Amino acid sequence: MKSQFKLLSLVFSLCLLCSCSPQGSSAFSQHIYIWQRLWTAEHAGALAQSKADFTVLRVLALQLHQAKAGPVWIETKVDLALLAGDGRAVHLVVRLDGQLKQLPTALVQKKLSALLQLWQQQGVKVTQLELDYDCASSQLASYADWIKELRQLLPQTLALSITALPDWLGKPGWLELQQQADQLTLQVHSVLSPEQGLFQPELAKGWAQQLATKAQKPFYIAVPSYHSALLKQEQGWLVESEQALQSQSERQELWLDALAVQDFSLWLKQQDWPLLQGLAWFRLPLPSDKRSWSYSQLQAVSSGKTLTADLKLSLHGEAPQFELVAENHGFVAAPLPPQINLSGALCSAADAVSGYKLNFSKDKNQLQFVLSKAEAMVQPRQRLVLGWATCQNLTLSAFKG
């Protein structure tokens, strides 16, 4: 009897310990958005890579865009056989342009019903409909009424979630809007003016805390895994994000600090918020997507691995034309070395770019590149030409980090 009593006491103690412990990574799931409008052969490898790290696929399926001539529907060309073969739960995402003042309920329902039927017939495990509508906070009550009407036309077994903006929190109509959704996803990236950057971790923490105190439904936090650029226009700045824009305009890169995103995600995991479910990463990277992180970087950040820079300097080309190139193969930005020395033979010309100035020896065969820009950085996956030289032979002799 004593041994049985000790065993029961041990089990009871363990149960108490488990019930009192805060939410940890075991209760914290991670989703991934697939946002490409045209699926290619690259998606097979990307899906296979992501299977061990992300439990749910949030797939852009349909977009209603406000064009000058009027609303335009854009249906994503998804490889349904590939998506079905993956086997993971799928959220079918519908993007509704925030400039739309009125949403067509019947037409949305008609298109959604056709898509749902097609996807399910193809074997895709659709578990949720996600609405992504960046309306003004003054329209929240109208948005809630619209969702209520839409839900009456959709299968009652289909869960519905919404993407929410920080500006909505606490505004009139916000609580009513929550009531119409089964789940929320708070977007904390690309919600400020472009000049303020993609992601501000301290603001994101405040928004997450604000949601947690008033949330009525389970929620996720959407975080970025990409960078973008600003293109100078007469009317202001144009944002280049998912798709490259052909433009000769002045370009300003908006880089994302991977360490800041990782610190934020680790901080979230420590919060004891009963309704917090996890993170949704935007977006699944493809090898050809130069604006997203590499998958290895996304995996390192999302799994909490140590992030380091890995700067490589090399000479490209062959006599007599050489380029000095810096490449960062790491996961965080790397500072450019303040001084780089090259030794050459029969050098006749050279120049420095990317913030460097060039010093020649008298015979022009010793080249010294000196950094003139303070805190110049090379971002992950970035390739930067630092200068060129015309020599019969050229070697990288030393650099000061």
Give the pLDDT confidence of 125-176 residue by residue, as tens digits: 999 999 999 999 999 999 999 999 999 999 999 999 999 999 999 999 999 9
**Same fold yes or no, 24-303 and 311-400:** no
Confidence of residue 234 (pLDDT cuts 50, 70, 90): low
Please give the residue that has the higher pLDDT: either 63 or 246. Answer: 63
Strand partners, 288: none
Where do the structural domains in the chain lie, given as residue ranges? 24-303, 311-400
Residue partners of 151: CB distance under 8 A and separation at least 6: 160, 180
Predicted confidence band of residue 381 (pLDDT cuts 50, 70, 90): very high
Residue 82 has pLDDT above 70, yes or no: yes
Residue 253 CA to its chain's centroid (Å): 15
Specify the fold of 24-303: TIM Barrel (3.20.20)
> Residues 96-112: what's their mean pLDDT?
92
- For residue 22, pLDDT over 70 is answered with no
- For the beta sheet containing 393-400, the strands, ordered from the edge strand earlier in sequence to the opposite edge, are 356-360, 366-371, 339-345, 393-400
Q: For residues 67 and 31, is the Cβ–Cβ distance under 8 A?
A: no
Is the pTM above the cut of 0.85?
A: yes
- On the question of pLDDT at 246 being above 70, the answer is no
Locate 54 and state its tokens.
Answer: 């992300």
Residue 333 has pLDDT above 70, yes or no: yes
Q: Check if the beta carbon of residue 342 is closer than 8 Å to that of residue 395.
A: yes
What pLDDT score was predicted for residue 240? 66
Q: Determine whether domain 311-400 maps to CATH 2.60.40.
A: yes
